[in-house]
Amino acid sequence: MKFVMLGSGRGSNAEALLRAWQQGQLGSAQPAAIFSDKPDARILELGPTFGIEARYLDPGRFKTKLTPEAEQELVDAIRATGAELIVLAGYMRVIKEPFLNAFPRRIINLHPSLLPSFKGLNGIGQAYDYGVKITGCTVHWVTGELDGGPIIDQEPVRIEPGDTLEAVEAKVHAAEHRLLPQVVRQLADEWGR
C-alpha cells in the first residue's frame, strides 16, 4: 500500500512515519511522496533523507484552503504516485469536496486532541487551558467536517499536576509519533487482505 504525506511544517509526524517504515514497522505500507504547501517547510527535507519524492505545490492565493487549480494539481500529483492512502501530517489547509471526492475514504488526519473535543487549531493548548486531566491524539478519516470524520484510533495522554504547556505538548507529540505508524500499518494490513 503506497501512501503520500501532506504537510506544512517541520514534519515530525512524517519523520516518525518514515522512520517506522525504515525500521520495517509498517508492514506492506510504503511511502511514495511528500507534498507541501510551503516552499520552505522542513518536511520537504525528509524526501532526500529517506529517498522519496518531496515537492512544493503552490496552494494559490487563499490562506486556509487550496484554489481549484492548486487542488487539481495536487490531485494529479498524488494520482501519479499510485498512492492508495493520503496522510495529512500537519497539513494546515482545509480539504474540500473536489479533493475528498477524488480519494473517497482514502485520506486520514492526525489531530492533537481526543476528538471530538478541541477541534481546529491549537488542540493541545485548548485542552491545557480548559484544564482537562486527559488529552491525547486522534487519527480520523477526513470528511467535509473539520476534524469531524470517523475516528480510527486514539492515544490518551495524562496531564499531571505541575505539567507546563510545553511538557504536555512533548507528551502529545510522542503519542502522535507512536499512533500514526500504528494506524498506517493497521490500514495496510486490512487493505492487503
Catalytic annotation, residues: 111
Say whether the peptide bond before residue 116 is cis (omega within 30 degrees of 0). yes
What CA–CA distance (Å, rounded) separates 114 from 137?
5
Handedness of CA 121, 93, 189, 174 (dihedral sign): negative
Q: How far is CA 57 from the centre of its chain?
A: 17
Specify whether the CB–CB gap between 165 and 128 falls below 8 A: yes
What CA–CA distance (Å, rounded) separates 154 from 66?
28
Specify whether the CB–CB gap between 70 and 42 falls below 8 A: no
Amino acid sitting at position 26: L
| DSSP E strands, 14-88 | 30-36, 53-56, 85-88
